[in-house]
Structure formats: structure tokens, C-alpha cells
Amino acid sequence: MEACNTWIAIVFILVAGTVPNIKAECEDYSPCTCGQNAEGNLFINCIDVLPTDIQAAFSRTTAPDIYSLVLILPASGGDIPADLLSGKRALLIDIIGPSKDSFQLIMDPGAFRSSSSYTMQLVISKCNLVQLDFSFLRGFSRLEELRLDSVSNIKPIENLPPLTNLVGLAIDNSQGFEALTGFPAIAFSRLNHLYLFNDELNDVVTGIILNAFVSSSSANTLEVLTLSKNLITQVPQQVTALPSILNFALSNNNITLITTGALSLVAPSKVYLNNISLDAIEADAFQGDYSYAEIDLTNNNLVSFDSLNPNMLCLHTKLNLRVPKSLDPFSCDCGLAWLIRDNPNLLKATNGGTCANTTRFEDLNPGGYLECAVF
């Protein structure tokens, strides 16, 4: 039951505050269990229950709508049949297999047809998707969040049907992206956030995915893009063609150099570049309105600050600069003159900047930079 409660918690995090109460009384859903919260919402949890037994449980119960359905499928398998819910509907659905490698999820195209105009969130976890026909999502007109977590053989997602109401897509801890030849960005009309975390994405696959978004209607609606903990070695050039990006995360990749113009974003709010083995940033790498941006450069190999300039920072910008103890702090030479001597009012924008002699940026004497050239 602990595992079940964990997944229910995830569901609440994703859509809390956006769904209505669905009041009903618990009935006999055995071998599944029924729970109810203070608002009267029904939570049906089916742990190690065969799909045919799940279908039988719903066929004898009367509540037309339930709030949350969690299916933890048995290792013995069993295809998910048509009309699994016997005409009933579930607002939030979690489908969890026993192994992302060995458990092949097979689902009838009509498995959740009765809930297609009702379900707002779907999560699929710990399954091999090699035989999954994503046409089971056809007609899911209300679906807002789709998450694939710890799955393998992701290629069938190329055939995702139109999901015009989807605002969030998350694919985490998953494998098989190297087989992709395209990505179904055209299926989304107004995607707002895309999370691709710890998916072993390389530069080529990342380009395939983002190219699909650049040429889709979501190019103008995508605000959050997370590509953290992958195998990316350069800032994807496509990000500059996504004008609505507010939050952009490349943390925990291996990007040693950020080139000029690579981070030309219209008006970002947060840019995460921490832990990417960053050695250098070329001049004018950051372009656009960074007036209210928070830029995280912690845990990198940077020892120079001269590529950042007052055109990038302003009174409201926040720059996190802490480096690991194993690395050398910043070389506080003339490359810092523009900040310490010419723009001391911007020091509040930096967080964690320390020189090689352990002096903090804010404690440096502007008079020590009088002989430096004017930037």
C-alpha cells in the first residue's frame, strides 16, 4: 500500500487545484481496494490484480466516476482489454508495471474509451512499450498531463494521436530514444511544459525532438523545457526558436562551452546550467531580456567571469556562481572590472562568487581595478 500511496501523491502534485471533487460512496471493488478522502473522492487501487479481474470489479459497482485509479499490474501479465472500466470513468489514471525491461504493456485501443472525454491525467510507469498502441488515447479531449516514467522502447510514441488539450508531457528515466526518427509534437496544440529528464538523450535525438516542436503550434506556447541529466554536449540551437521559454534546464549534462548566442532567449525567468562541466562561456552567449532571470552556474569549472557583462545583468537578475570545493575559485583579474569598478550596484545579483584568495566578490576593492581597460 505504501507504493500505491506514493503514486497517489505524485498525482496530486501534478494536478492539485485543477480538478473537481467527485463524491461517491465506496463499494466492493475487490480484489481492488477503495478509499475515500474527506471531500468524498474515490481512490481505487488495484495491486497485482489481473486486468480481467479489474474489469469484473467495475462491472458490478455503480459509481459512474472515480477520482483516482492506480493499477499496479502483476508480473504474470495480462493484456488490458477493451472497456476495462465497464463504462465507468476515472479522472486520474496510473498504470504501473513490474519492470520497464521485461513487462510489455499491451492495451486494446478501446481500453479506456469510456473515460476518453473525462480523464485529465495519465501516468504509465515501469513498462516496456514496444507493443503499446498509443491509439488507445484517441479522443482523449480533456487530457492535460501525460507522464511516462521508467519505461523502455519509447519509439511507439511517434504514433501518438492528437491530444489537443495537453499542456504537460513528462518522460523521465526512460530508454529507447535513439530509435526515434520523429516526435509527435504535431499532436499537441498548446503544450506548455516538456520534461525529458534522465533519458540518455544525445545531441542528435534532442535535435529531432526540438525540431518537431519548432515547426508545431506549441512553438509559441512552450514555456518550460527541462533536458536535465542526459548526454547533451551543446546547448540545442532550437531553443532560440522557442520564443515563449521562461524556464530552461540543462543541468547535469556535459556542456563544456556555451557559444555566442546559444542562449538567446526572449525573456527567460530561470536558466539552469549547473553541473554541466562548463569550462567557458563565449562573449554574448546570453542574449535577450534577462532582467528578471535567475541563472544557475553552480558546480562547474568556470574560473573566469569576463564573458558575462552588464548588458546581461541588471538589478533584478540573480546569478548563482558557487563552484565545487575541488575546483579553483574565480580569477578576479581585470575581467571583473566591469562589475566591481563600473557596476558595483550589480553585485547583489551574484550569489556565491569567490576569488582564488577566498575574497568574496562583494568584498573586493573597486580601487584595485583602476588600471584595467574600460569595457
The tens digit of pLDDT for each residue in 53-106 reads 999 999 999 999 999 999 999 998 889 999 999 999 999 999 999 998 889 999
Q: Which tens digits make up the pLDDT trace of 28-40? A: 999 999 999 888 8
Region 219-230: what's the mean pLDDT?
98
Nearest-angstrom CA–CA distance, 171 and 178 = 14
Please check whether residue 332 lies inside any domain of the structure. yes
Please check whether residue 154 lies inside any domain of the structure. no
Domain membership of residue 317 as a residue range: 255-375
Peptide bond into 161 cis (omega under 30): no
Please check whether residue 275 lies inside any domain of the structure. yes
Nearest-angstrom CA–CA distance, 1 and 46 = 10
**H or E, element range at 171:** strand 168-172
| Predicted confidence band of residue 231 (pLDDT cuts 50, 70, 90) | very high
Please check whether residue 272 lies inside any domain of the structure. yes
Please check whether residue 334 lies inside any domain of the structure. yes
In this predicted model, which residue has the larger pLDDT, 293 or 234? 234
Region 136-149: what's the mean pLDDT?
98
Region 207-216: what's the mean pLDDT?
98
Please check whether residue 237 lies inside any domain of the structure. no
Q: How many domains does the chain have?
A: 1
Q: 69 near 124, Cβ under 8 Å?
A: no
Question: What's the confidence (pLDDT) of residue 309?
Answer: 55
Contacts of 28 (CB under 8 A, 6+ apart): 34, 57, 60, 61
Identify each DSSP E strand in 238-320 by its residue range.
247-249, 257-258, 263-264, 270-272, 280-281, 286-287, 294-296, 318-320
Please check whether residue 143 lies inside any domain of the structure. no
* pTM as predicted: 0.85
Nearest-angstrom CA–CA distance, 276 and 260 = 17
φ, ψ of residue 155 to 5 degrees: the values are: -50, -40
Please check whether residue 364 lies inside any domain of the structure. yes
Would you tell me how many other CB atoms lie within 10 Å of the CB of residue 269? 15
In this predicted model, which residue has the larger pLDDT, 209 or 20? 209
